[in-house]
Chain A
Amino acid sequence: MPPAAAATAISVVGLEKHYGSTRAVDCLTFDVVCGEVFGLLGPNGAGKTTTVEILEGYRQVDSGTIRVLGLDPWRDAARLRPRIGVMLQEGGLYPGLRPLELLRLFASYYDDPEDPTQLLDTVGLSDATRTTVRRLSGGQRQRLSLATALIGKPSVVFLDEPTAGMDPRARATTWRLVRDLAQRGVTVLLTTHATDEAEQLCDRVAIVSGGRIVALGSPAELTRRGPTEEIRIVTASGVSVRALATALGVNESDVRELRCGEYVASTVSTPSRIADLATFLREHDVTLVALEAGHSSLEEVYFRLTAEDAK
Chain B
Amino acid sequence: MRRAAIVAQVRAETILQLRRGENLVVTLAIPLGILIFFANVDAIKTDYAHPVDFLVPGVLALSVMASAMVSLGIATGFERRYGVLKRLGSTPLSRSGLLAAKTVTVIAFEIVQVVLVVLVGIVIGWHVPTGIVAAVGLLLLGTVAFAGVGLLMAGTLRAEANLAAANALFLMLLFLGGMAYPLSKLPNVIQNLAGALPAAALSETVRAVLAGRAFPVGELMVLLAWAILAPLAAAHWFRWEE
Q: Are A82 and B86 in contact (CB under 8 A)?
A: no
Contacts of B237 in A (CB 8 A): none
Q: How far apart are the CA atoms of A90 and B83 in the complex, in Å?
A: 8
B84 touches A92 (CB 8 A): yes
B19 interfacial by beta-carbon distance below 8 Å: yes
Shortest distance between the CB of B82 and any CB in chain A (Å): 5
Interface size class of B (residues with CB under 8 A): 20 to 34
Please pick, from B7, B84, B86, B92, the residue contacting A58 in the complex, using a CB distance under 8 A.
Answer: B86
- Give every chain A residue within 8 A of B78 (Cβ-Cβ): 95
- Residue A215 lies at the interface, judged by CB distance under 8 Å to chain B: no
In angstroms, Cα B19 to Cα A71, docked, is: 40
With contacts A92-B83, A92-B87, A105-B8 taken as known, whether A110 is within 8 angstroms of B92 at the C-beta atoms is: yes
Is A74 located at the chain interface by the 8 A CB criterion? Answer: no
A108/B83 contact (C-beta < 8 A), A57-B90, A86-B90, A97-B16 known: no
Known A58-B86, A58-B90, A109-B92; contact A104-B16, beta-carbon cutoff 8 A: no
Total number of A residues with any Cβ neighbor in B under 8 Å: 29
Separation of A296 and B89 alpha carbons in the complex (Å): 42
Chain A residues with CB below 8 A from B19, complex form: 96, 132
Chain A, residues 78-92, CB within 8 Å of chain B (1/0): the string is 100110101010111
Contacts of A148 in B (CB 8 A): 87
Q: In the complex, what residue of chain B is closest to A145 when comparing beta carbons? A: B87
A interface, over-half SS? loop
**Judging by beta carbons under 8 Å apart, are B86 and A78 in contact?**
no
A108 x B86 contact (CB < 8 A): no
List the B side residues contacting A95 at CB < 8 Å: 78, 82
From A96, A101, A105, contact of B20 by CB (8 A): A96
Q: Does A12 contact B (CB under 8 A)?
A: no
Residues of A contacting B15 with CB < 8 Å?
A: 96-97, 101
The B-contacting residues of A in range 127-180, CB under 8 angstroms, are 132, 148, 152
Q: Which residues of B contact A102 (CB under 8 A)?
A: 12
Known contacts: A91-B82, A94-B79. The answer to whether A106 contacts B94 by CB under 8 A is no
Distance to closest chain A CB from B233 (angstroms): 24
A-B contact number at CB 8 A: 75
For residue A93, CB closer than 8 A to chain B, the reply is yes
Complex CA gap A105/B8 in Å reads 6
Q: Which of B8-48 contact A (CB under 8 A)?
A: 8-9, 11-12, 15-16, 19-20
Cβ-closest chain B residue relative to A110 = B92
Decide: A104 near B83, CB < 8 A? Known: A78-B94, A97-B15: no
Contact with A along B120-150 (1 / 0, CB 8 A): 0000000000000000000000000000000
- Scan A175-198; emit 1 where CB is below 8 A from any B CB, else 0: 000000000000000000000000
Cα A49 to Cα B20 with chains together (Å) = 33
Closest beta carbon of chain B to A109's beta carbon, Å? 5
- Please encode chain B, from 93 to 115, with 1 for each CB lying within 8 Å of some chain A CB and 0 for all others: 11000000000000000000000
Contact check, B89 vs A88: say whether CB atoms are below 8 A apart.
no
B213 CB-CB contact with A under 8 Å: no
Expressed in whole angstroms, the Cα–Cα distance for A81 and B92 within the complex equals 5
Q: Does B189 contact A (CB under 8 A)?
A: no
> A56 contacts B7, CB within 8 Å?
no
Question: Given A105-B9, A108-B5, do A94 and B16 touch, yes or no (CB 8 Å)?
Answer: yes
| Chain B, Cβ-Cβ closest to A92 | B87
21 A-B pairs with CB atoms under 8 Å apart are A58-B89, A58-B90, A78-B92, A78-B94, A82-B92, A86-B87, A88-B83, A90-B83, A91-B86, A92-B86, A92-B87, A96-B20, A97-B15, A105-B11, A108-B4, A108-B9, A109-B5, A109-B91, A109-B93, A110-B92, A132-B19
Which A positions have Cβ atoms within 8 angstroms of B?
56-58, 78, 81-82, 84, 86, 88, 90-97, 101-102, 104-106, 108-111, 132, 148, 152
A-B residue pairs, 7 tightest by C-beta: A91-B83, A92-B87, A108-B8, A86-B90, A92-B83, A109-B91, A82-B92
